[in-house]
Amino acid sequence: MIISLGILSATLLLALLLGVRGARSASFSASGTTSGTPSLEQWSVGNRGFGTILVFMLLAGEIYTTFTFLGGSGWAYGRGAPAFYIIAYGAVAYIMSYWLLPAIWQRATAWKVLSQSEYFTRAYGSPALGNVVAAVSIAALMPYLVLQLKGLGIIVSESSYGAISANAAIWIGTTATVIYVVLSGVRGSAMTAALKDAMVLMCVIGLGLILPYKLHGGIGPMFARIAAERPDFLTLPSSGMSPSWFASTVLLTVLGFYMWPHTFGSVFTARDASVFRRNAALMPLYQLVLLFVFFIGFAALLSIPGLQGTEVDLALLRVTRDTFSPWIVGLVGAAGLLTALVPGSLILMSIATTLARILRPPRKGQPADSATFARLLVPLLAGVALWFTFRGGGTFVTLLLMGYSMVTQLFPALLASLFPTARISAAGAIAGIVVGEAAVAATMLGGVSMATLLPGWSPRITDINAGFLAVILNIVTMVLVSRLSSRVTAPVSP
Amino acid sequence: MTKPYRLLALVPAVAILGAPWFANRIEPRILGMPFLLGWIVCWVLMASVVMAVIGALDSRRS
């Protein structure tokens, strides 16, 4: 227990040191503003100077979160084959990224934008659209940040054998994150992301290989046992989470993949477009980490059965605690801690940058914006997140589930911004997003699904993810309103 | 289309999206994994290879 506590504290300290050191290597005082205060461009997108490896670490840093770590093993444990969709969507999204990200990067760099909402403002020449996008971003990001903090609390209290309470862990982790985000901005996150990647790779691949052998005599024998005890568990059922569900959910998740404001913002850090082309080949390999996460979940299913409901997310930590000595538990907990801190830091920076750009819009002919205002927002936003983490009620959980669907609604307008010939107007984009979000709310809060809309139809149709309905309504509205609105202001080309 | 080799990218995408129709079974197992999981893993690896090939061909042209 003392050992695991030591490893956890040492990791947090190391992350803090690496994060703070990011400021020094950033050479903040070299250009732009006076007296060593970084410009917002330096602080939030690293002066657009990151190469392939740094961008890789940032993207991997924010895509593989506590949800991937705990949720991925929890899905394998609790649902079996439907969990495989988690490996599938990333790979398809990376194929798309080869064309999508260079196109976004090219425009964002030409316009010198720093946030997703600012991108939309510039692309459509409409601050109103930018504000709508900012509202969607923040409504989706805040719950996502709270999810990371809650995950952090669970991981640390489980892996310290209860020695540190979840609440204490959340306070300590958040404070450390705020310190390095304020001091070093995106460079700090990239540095801690490197530490995170190393620890996650080591722990997940290690556990994913050792657990099946130690507990069940190998990966083959483990799956043979599951197939014998639960023949349906390793394939998709013919209704419910059926093939239609799988393909539609993968496709929908791909559309939303880069629409998270902090992921979108990471695109701005790249120094040239070839960074994304190289990453399109690199990222799918990293996606295979999830395979080992699944092995851990399946190994837990046979050795510690009986976890129910939200407890399945503890499968990874429980099976590790039952099988290994405290120092391994400490390492796994430390890796888990970092999977919460790194995305958390990027989310904080993303919200702060979005707000800073809206409250203090850049003016022509003025010197580069200082990052001071955005940095001041960071502790404030962290305070709000803490408040929600400790006091959040049921509404909050719903917002969380809706987050992914909410950001997905930004995809049609983004795609249209890349094709000026589509002649989508700002009014069309706003109307599409508003209708899309309303449809998301109807499906997720109102219990509307394909099955309730089309009673009696075959599961092949009714299992299609209802999120598609929202995207289709969004596109139809966007096109119709664009055609009807008299003053058409099509997206400008870079 | 001036760069027909880029269509190669569709192959892993279709193989992954269509996995439950092509591969929704347990046998034959791939490295001990159920066939569905093994299929998806193979195509994730292929996605990496295909994108590397397209990237190399693209950069040679420019």
A242 touching B (Cβ < 8 Å): yes
Chain A residues within an 8 Å CB radius of B12 = 91-92, 95
A226 CB neighbour count, 10 Å cutoff:
20
Partners of B33 in the beta sheet?
B30
* CA–CA distance, A67 with A494 (Å, rounded to integer): 36
CB contact under 8 A, A81 and B59: no
Residue closest to A115 by CA, chosen among A89, A91, A133: A133
Chain B closest-CA separation from residue A87 CA (Å): 8
Residue A376 has what pLDDT?
87
Chain A closest-CA separation from residue B37 CA (Å): 7
3-state secondary structure of A188: helix
CB contact under 8 A, B45 and A284: yes
Residue B24's closest chain A neighbor by CA?
Answer: A235
Average pLDDT, integer, range B4-23 = 92
pLDDT in tens, chain A (494 residues): 678 888 998 999 998 888 888 666 555 544 444 446 788 888 888 888 888 888 888 888 777 788 777 888 888 998 899 999 999 999 999 999 999 999 999 999 999 888 999 999 999 999 999 999 999 999 888 888 888 888 888 889 888 888 888 889 999 999 988 998 888 888 888 888 888 888 988 999 999 999 999 999 999 999 999 999 988 899 998 888 889 999 999 999 999 999 999 899 889 999 998 899 999 999 998 888 899 999 999 999 999 988 887 788 888 999 999 999 898 999 999 998 998 888 899 999 999 989 988 888 776 656 567 778 888 889 999 998 898 888 765 555 566 667 888 999 999 999 999 998 888 999 999 999 999 999 988 887 777 777 788 887 887 888 888 888 899 999 999 999 999 875 555 566 55
A278 touching B (Cβ < 8 Å): yes
Chain A closest-CA separation from residue B36 CA (Å): 7
Residue B18's closest chain A neighbor by CA?
Answer: A247
- Chain A / chain B CB contacts < 8 angstroms: 107
Out of A220, A223, A243, closest to residue B21 by CB: A243
Partners of B30 in the beta sheet?
B33
Out of B20, B49, B54, closest to residue A236 by CB: B20
A240 CB neighbour count, 10 Å cutoff:
11
Task: Give the tokens for residue A306.
Answer: 């009986």
Out of A243, A278, A284, closest to residue B24 by CB: A243
* CA–CA distance, A46 with A480 (Å, rounded to integer): 40
**Best B11, B26, B42 residue to mutate vs chain A (most A CBs within 10 Å):** B26
Task: Give the tokens for residue A240.
Answer: 């419910």
* Ranges of each domain in chain B: 4-61
CB contact under 8 A, B51 and A288: no
CB contact under 8 A, A242 and B33: no
Q: Which residues of B touch A (CB under 8 A)?
A: 9, 12-13, 16-21, 24-26, 29, 31-34, 36-37, 40-41, 43-45, 47-52, 54-55, 58-59
DSSP assignment letter at B28: S
What number is the ipTM of this complex? 0.95
Residue A207 has what pLDDT?
93
A237 touching B (Cβ < 8 Å): no
A211 touching B (Cβ < 8 Å): no
CB contact under 8 A, A235 and B34: yes
Chain A residues within an 8 Å CB radius of B56 = none
**Fold classification of A2-393 (topology level):** Sodium/glucose cotransporter (1.20.1730)
A294 touching B (Cβ < 8 Å): yes
Residue A471 buriedness (CB in 10 A; 0-12 / 13-18 / 19+): buried
| DSSP letter for each residue of A45-111 | HGGG-B-HHHHHHHHHHHHS-HIIIIIHHHHHHHHSGGGGHHHHHHHHHHHHHHHHHHHHHHHHHHH
